[in-house]
Amino acid sequence: MTDVLRHSRCCVLALLSLIAALCGANDLPIIDNPCATALLASLAQTPAFVERTPVHIEGKPAVRLMIVLRTNGCYFDKGDSGCTICNYKQHAIDPRRYRVNADNLSAQLDLALQNVDEKIEQIDLLTLGNYLNQSEVPLAFWKESMARLSKLPRLKRVVIESRTKFIQESNIEIVRSALRADITLEVSIGVESSNDYIRNEIIKKKLAWKELEKAVDRLAAFRDRKVVFQAYLLIKPQRLTEREAIEDVVQSAVDVAIMAQKKRIFTRIAFEPVFVTHDTELEKEFLAGRYHPVKLWSIVEIIKRVYEHPAVKRNPFVTSIFVGMSDENLSSGRKASSCSHCEAMLLRAIEAFNSTQNIGTFSLLVCPQCRPEGEVAMNFKLLPESMSLMQIPPDHTGSAPSGISAVIRTADEQTVIAPTAALNQTLGAKVSHEWRAIQLEGTWEFSEVGIISKITQALADSHVSCLAFSTWNTDYLLVQESQVLQAVSALEKLARGY
């Protein structure tokens, strides 16, 4: 009987230790228990998450296998430090209770690779932290994992991720040398946002933009050996409105694209819609009603705008755009969503875009519930170019400037509206700079009345002055650069029927 009780007590203590190790319950005592050690050792041989998703590789649809290895967690996510949105330590094992070693990681990889078939052309080997940090992932496993993956004949791309401090040329050399030469090594960095305040004050990434550029420089040193860069960009961290989040991530993608061209390194832009994880600052905002995950319609807008932006579309170093929709079983359903009528449709469309990079995938999306057909015509797009107005002599003749432009001629004068960079300002008697154009998406019949009036009234109610001009199919508004955010907010409310 005593042995039975002793065994029962051992099992209970083992279970408590396992729960503490997974939940990061640092206030619970460390239990020196052989049953607990055995349970944790078994858990350490099981990957945290494995998933197959579509991806685009070398101009063709392919399949990606995402493997999240169970480690002791990210070195940065300890105590009160760490990013405010992240809680991947839910999947990690407390190192005080069990230290995950190279043999454990090899067993996890064995288990995950059972999902490989002839369709898998990309493997993301993720680690709840930093693959290139030897205190998280042993050096021996770097070499072994790359050697294992090199044996997969159809594999074209391997993705790892790390904070910038571990992206050193010596580390890249070790991993690159261990991987088959024809397989691309893609190193991902959590850029999150190009806005310093959002990245470092809201998300608390503690990443200087100059440090990011230095890390990308170190990657670019291996450009001739098929080493490329992937930038993770977050969609809607806390304390941003829906519109502010859209504008931030679009600008961040543009800034990453510009950096890629400057550094001459092939780059993928990976959007990561924020989901709510437990025990984070983000969750506190969510529970207080001050935060809601991004809408799927907003993700579609982001993809379309970034895809069509000249800094991306004409950039030979931006190879593709990807949207990571997995919550890795961490959100409890608190993630990007839409209404019950269109959510599945939008998720399929985003997945299809990831595979094909065909922006036409989104052209016919309409929802009668949350995006009624009458409201689709009220969508708008803030164009990236800085615009100017210029008065020129009435008798001047010449071709219209390139880009979106308009020439208004009377007997007394001509006024040209065009991108600032396209204007020949030596012709102008008067020039007004710092305007932005807002395109009203949709086509209206000439018989329809009151549309422009409704829009300009919404802007007037927000104390935004504007200048409207039209083509046969489309209407445009010019607003002062200083009033862009007010204008965008007013039009968003109008489009949503608020």
pLDDT number for residue 311: 95
What number of helices (H) and strands (E) belong to the chain?
Answer: 15, 14
DSSP sequence for 154-220: T--EEEEE--GGG--HHHHHHHHHHS-TTSEEEEEEEEE-S-HHIIIIIS-----HHHHHHHHHHHH
pTM of the model: 0.72
**Residue ranges per structural domain of the chain:** 43-370, 376-496
| Residue 79 reports pLDDT greater than 80 | no
**CATH entry 3.20.20.70 includes domain 43-370:** yes
**Lowest-confidence segment of 13-27, 170-184, 446-460 by average pLDDT:** 13-27
Residue type, 465: S
| Residue 229 reports pLDDT greater than 60 | yes
DSSP state of 130: -
Q: What is the pLDDT of residues 283-311, one digit of tens each?
A: 999 999 999 999 999 999 999 999 999 99
pLDDT number for residue 443: 58
Q: What is the pLDDT of residues 312-365, one digit of tens each?
A: 999 999 999 999 999 999 999 999 999 988 999 999 999 999 999 999 888 777
Instruction: Please state which architecture CATH assigns to domain 376-496.
Output: 2-Layer Sandwich (3.30)
- Counting Cα atoms < 13 Å in the Cβ hemisphere of 91 gives 26
Tell which wins on pLDDT, 103 or 487.
103
